[in-house]
Amino acid sequence: MKKHLPAVLFLLAAALLWWLSLSPRRHQVPVAEGEKVRVVVSGYVPYTLVKQLAGDQAEVAMLLPANAEPHSFEPTPGSLVTVRNADVFVYVSDQIEPWAKDVLSSAGEKTAVVQAAQYAAPSDDPHVWMDFDNTQKIARAIVFALVQKDPSNRALYESNLKAFEQEISELDQAYKKGLASCQSRQVVHVGHFAFGNLTKNYDLSLSALAGSSHDGENSVKRLTELIKFIKENQIQAIFTEETLSPRLSAAVAEETGAKVLPLYTVEHVSKDDFDRGVTYGELMRRNLESLQRGLGCPA
Ligand SMILES: [Zn+2]
């Protein structure tokens, strides 16, 4: 038995190292009793989810200004300090926020990091929250981080998660029912390619003016193609992002006779909506209403 001792110790040490690698210490330092969890988020998608899931138990700071465009934002030195002091940092992905890796490098030892896209199904469209299954998984990952940091409020976070999951499954049912029989299944979006996951899930087709990252595909050539497509397919309504200048969609509407309806990407919201604390569910219900009106689906 004795001669096996070094081997046993070696195995124990290896097991301990393996266990430590699975559970990094930085995720396991809870906040002091009675203190709020300091959550820093990249933009509005994680902001609204954390607000809804944490209620008053978290102080949430958002790096991106409410009505700024997430793909091309540049973080300030102040953002780096904010992230260094965070208990939890939530962002979507390097594709949606190419600036996140700079911010991440300044995250403190005790900062738990949630990268939302890690919990999403593989897709060509990085707007992963436009899929309700993904959003539920992201919500669970956020709650997992909140519970690690603030275990004394576990019951509250879990009950908020349950309510959120219920809201999302009702939304999914409303989309299935509301978009089941429409006169058209063609969504023409005079904006960037942010609704690929949503349209795919409910058997709609999507043509967008620009790519998924605002990367300069918003060309005159593409606009001409889109106008031709609208005319040829007798598209009755086009969609636009509320936070984009209305000039372009108005011009397309004038040229084609199509009416213009809003779609909400959730990644950036108007100042009014931000001040009101508009939720993910509210924005997705507005999207359903717009799609039903624009595609001629009975309400
Ligand atoms: Zn986008």
Residues 186 and 151 in one domain: no
C-alpha 118 – ligand 1 centre gap (Å): 17
Distance 97 CA to ligand 1 centre (A): 9
Q: Give dist(CA 22, CA 13) in Å, integer.
A: 14
Q: 269 and 204 in one domain?
A: yes
Cα(98) to centroid(ligand 1), Å: 12
- Domain contains 91: yes
**Ligand 1 center to 32 CA (angstroms):** 37
Average pLDDT over residues 54-64: 95
Rounded mean pLDDT of 233-245? Answer: 91
Do residues 56 and 146 lie in contact, with contact meaning Cβ atoms separated by under 8 Å? no
3-state class of 281 per DSSP? helix
Q: Which has more confidence, 15 or 184? A: 184
Ligand 1 center to 124 CA (angstroms): 13
- Determine the distance separating the centroid of ligand 1 and the alpha carbon of 194, expressed in angstroms: 5
Phi, psi of 129 (to 5 degrees): -75, -5
Ligand 1 centroid distance, CA of 257 (Å): 27
**pLDDT greater than 50 at residue 24:** no
Q: Look up the pTM and report it.
A: 0.88
- Ligand 1: centre distance to CA 70 (Å): 7
Cα(67) to centroid(ligand 1), Å: 13
Asked if residue 173 is part of any domain, the answer here is no
Q: What confidence tens digit (pLDDT) does each residue in 178-201 have?
A: 999 999 999 999 999 999 999 999
Q: 280: which 2 tokens?
A: 């993910």
Is the same domain home to 144 and 188? no
Among 148, 130, 138, 155, residue whose Cα is nearest residue 55: 155
pLDDT tens readout for residues 243-296: 788 888 999 999 999 999 999 999 989 999 999 999 999 999 999 999 999 999
Centre of ligand 1 from the C-alpha of residue 125, in Å: 9
**pLDDT tens string 65-93:** 877 777 788 888 888 888 999 999 999 99
Q: What is the mean pLDDT of the chain?
A: 89
35: amino acid identity, one letter: E
Domain span at 289: 181-295
Query: Looking at the domain assignment, is residue 172 inside a domain?
Result: no
pLDDT value at 50 more than 90:
yes
150 and 226 part of one domain: no
Look at residue 72 and give its three-state secondary structure.
Answer: helix
CATH number reported for the structural domain that contains residue 44 in this entry: 3.40.50.1980
pLDDT digits (tens, 9 = 90+) for 119-151: 999 999 999 999 999 999 999 999 999 999 999
